[in-house]
Structure 1
Amino acid sequence: MSADCYGHCDDCPYTWCVPEVRTQPTKAAVKRSWRQDAQDELDELADLYGIDPGMVRL
């Protein structure tokens, strides 16, 4: 890449430069990710404290 090209411009004059595609995750995907992370953390804590993971709900 050229020193003045960072690959993010929509109308890049360089034919070899492909702008980086940045997509935002959907709200549902963010919620699923947060929920899965929280459930994993609860499972680890339940295991650490000797609690049945089936009894722990989010």
Structure 2
Amino acid sequence: MSADCNGHCEDCPYSWCVPVNRARPPKVADRQHWRQDARAELVELADLYGIDPSGVRL
């Protein structure tokens, strides 16, 4: 690293520098878990409001 680069800037001007705190995209398992939770919530809401759960989509 250069003396004026600490690797903590989000838009570092150096192409060789990889910022340490770069946000990672969610993993596939995290996305699948989110979808399962969202589906369960939609089914519960459909039941609460008297809507046919088979007609509810995510």
* Structure-1-length-normalised TM-score: 0.55
The Cα RMSD (Å) is 1.1
What 5-or-longer segments of structure 1 have no aligned partner? 1-25
Match of 1:7 in 2: none
Q: Distance in 2 between matches of 1:42 and 1:53?
A: 8
* Structure-2-length-normalised TM-score: 0.55
Match of 2:51 in 1: 51
Aligned residues: 33
What is the identity percentage for the equivalent residue pairs of Structure 1 and Structure 2? Answer: 67
Deviation >6 Å, runs of 4+: none
What 5-or-longer segments of structure 2 have no aligned partner? 1-25
